[in-house]
Homo-oligomer: A and B are copies of this chain.
């Protein structure tokens, strides 16, 4: 129940901030919807296709698609407003990241897989939507350069996997989301990121 509400918050936050990002490129209204859809539901779709987990969430429940499109449409009407609320949306996005990652881990654990799979599924669900979005906008994916986005997603997968046998599914979910959310906000605040790999200097 709570996870459903959080999931809706996650896809709304994703599609709204994406719709704003899409405005940076010259795309039409359909492009905005499409990119928002990919960002909000693409990560979970890739996970389900790779792990053979059918039907996909939005095929089973097309309301998700409708919510994404309405959110993206509203976002295009209030772009200036959203830009002034940038921190609010960063916060929602951090929440969405944690929620998506935990959902990803829960699904593959429910299919009988172990720790490595939970980490990979959390990473795919939490961060691949953003990779796809950047692909379609023709830029090098931001998550390869951004503050710990994928690392937080993977951490959520691992934390949930260790926590749920002790705490039960519900409390483990809440605790993991909280930790993931805090990690992400700290990474944003202190601009913590992974080392950039470059060719120029030899590392050995």
Contacts and interface: CB of A to CB of B under 8 A. Distances in A.
- In the complex, which range does the number of interface residues on chain A fall in? 35 or more
A202 to B, nearest CB: 3
Given A79-B202, A199-B20, A31 B120 contact: no
Interface string A16-41: 00011011111111111011000000
A203 B24 CA distance: 14
Contact of A34 (B52, B137, B144, B202): B144
A123 to B, nearest CB: 9
| Best-surrounded residue of A28, A62, A193 (most CB of chain B within 10 A) | A28
A198 interface: yes
B31 A79 contact: no
Contact of A25 (B27, B79, B81, B140): B140
Kindly report how many copies of this chain are found in the complex they form together: 3
A27 B81 CA distance: 32
| Best-surrounded residue of A19, A26, A137, A193 (most CB of chain B within 10 A) | A26
Task: List 8 tightest A-B contacts by C-beta distance, closest first.
Answer: A31-B144, A80-B202, A28-B194, A27-B144, A62-B116, A52-B54, A23-B199, A29-B194
Given A27-B140, A30-B143, 17 more contacts: A20-B199, A22-B197, A25-B144, A26-B145, A27-B145, A31-B144, A34-B131, A34-B150, A35-B144, A49-B50, A50-B59, A62-B116, A62-B117, A79-B197, A79-B204, A80-B203, A135-B135
Interface of A: 19-20, 22-32, 34-35, 45, 49-52, 54-56, 59, 62, 65-66, 76-81, 113, 116-117, 120, 131, 135-141, 143-145, 150-151, 193-199, 202-204
